[in-house]
Structure 1
Amino acid sequence: MGRQFWPMDPRPDEVFIDDIAHALSMLCRFGGHCLRFYSVAEHCVLMSRAAPPPFKMWALLHDATEAYLVDVPRPLKPFLLGYGDAEDKIMRAISFRFNLHLGMPEIVKQLDRAILMDERLQNMTGTSFAWSTDDEPLGVQLQFWSPERARAEFLSTFEQLGGRP
């Protein structure tokens, strides 16, 4: 934690799982615009638990770039020039570091859209309009872990999946 990292020139040997777990556990989903603190780390752990076995590690690390770039809400991302390129560079370094094949699997993208509905129903005020990502909920129950618990759960899940720091 607290190590130097160059987001525009990321190197796999400078990516550490404890840095990712710490940052994601402190980062609130939706830019903090939700009813209760709910970390990106918890989001990733819940997705990993719901993913089929071959995709659990990808689900756990699918938002790992946000440890270095922050969680930008979806409606804003297309307007941030260069953000996608930075995200892609960092994800390549993360993928290489933790032996993930390049390119996020479609099933992980589907799980991400589905859990968004659980998050919306459980941690946002109701709205009368549809989101552009509306889908069937994944069916998970948000736990609203503290940052300390979210970090521990993230690291424990990583180790259970055979990840090596």
Structure 2
Amino acid sequence: MVERGDWLQTFTGKQFYLLDPRPEDVCIEDIAHALSLLCRYAGHCTTFYSVAEHSLLVESKMKTDDARMRLGALLHDAAEAYLVDIPRPLKGHIPPYGQIELNVEVAIAEKFDLYWPIKQASIGALDNRILLDERAQIMTPTNHDWNIEGKPLSVKVRGYHPQQAESLFLRRFNELWGALNP
């Protein structure tokens, strides 16, 4: 067996090789569980708000019947289940992280037969606009501009308990996956 480097033990007990990710290492239960426990904005919100709930909101605003595109929206931050959610202002200053994240995204895209890149322009636009809703609902008000173009999408952040966010995420994944694999 070829040595694949250091690995992370996942929720389901699998070994996930962060520097050598492969589709067979990706597990939707691990993704849903980890994202449900991962707080957005490095925890600097007024209430707990998971990446899983954020992902559900992005997917809910997709204006398409294309289940593969919708699944991509749901999984647009799935790499964070293995790599955590590094705040945007820091990501660009860690060049190796970008390549590691890309490799994990490729493994996820291959596992679930997603369009590439996962973060298509339409998903990125929704992701940015939802930031405006999130800022208004779960961030301490300030006079500082976030320099985000567009208008809020009028989504409602619920602040789901992690178990509820995980359950809703898995349910939606299964609906979309079932539509793609009848």
TM-score calculated relative to the size of structure 2: 0.87
4+ aligned runs moved over 3 Å, structure 1: none
Q: Distance in 2 between matches of 1:126 and 1:100?
A: 37
Q: Which has the larger radius of gyration?
A: 2
1:18-63 Cα distance to aligned partner (Å, 9 max, x none): 0000000000000100000000000001111111232211110000
- RMSD of aligned C-alpha atoms? 1.2
Which amino acid in structure 2 is aligned with residue 110 of structure 1?
A: A
1:111-154 Cα distance to aligned partner (Å, 9 max, x none): 00011111000000111121132431111001100000000000
Which ranges of structure 1 fall in alignment gaps of 5 or more residues? none
Q: Distance in 1 between matches of 2:24 and 2:153?
A: 34
Which ranges of structure 2 fall in alignment gaps of 5 or more residues? 1-11
2:90 is aligned to: 76
Q: Distance in 1 between matches of 2:160 and 2:142?
A: 25
Matched, 1:62 2:73: no
CA drift of 1:162 comes to 2.2
- For 1:7-46, what aligned pairs fall within 5 Å after superposition? 7-46=18-57
Q: Distance in 2 between matches of 1:153 and 1:134?
A: 29
- Aligned mate of 2:154, from 116, 134, 139: 139
1:118 is aligned to: 133
TM-score calculated relative to the size of structure 1: 0.95
Q: Distance in 2 between matches of 1:2 and 1:117?
A: 37
Matched, 1:89 2:100: no
- Aligned mate of 1:150, from 165, 176, 179: 165
Q: Distance in 1 between matches of 2:29 and 2:148?
A: 31
**Partner-residue secondary structure (3-state), 1:115:** helix
Which amino acid in structure 2 is aligned with residue 90 of structure 1?
A: V
User: Higher relative CO (CA 8 A, sep ≥ 6), structure 1 or 2?
Assistant: 1
Q: Distance in 2 between matches of 1:61 and 1:138?
A: 19
Q: Distance in 1 between matches of 2:137 and 2:157?
A: 7
Mapped contact 1:18–1:155 kept (Cα < 8 A): yes
Mapped contact 1:117–1:134 kept (Cα < 8 A): no
Q: Distance in 2 between matches of 1:129 and 1:142?
A: 21
Which amino acid in structure 2 is aligned with residue 95 of structure 1?
A: A
CA drift of 1:161 comes to 0.8
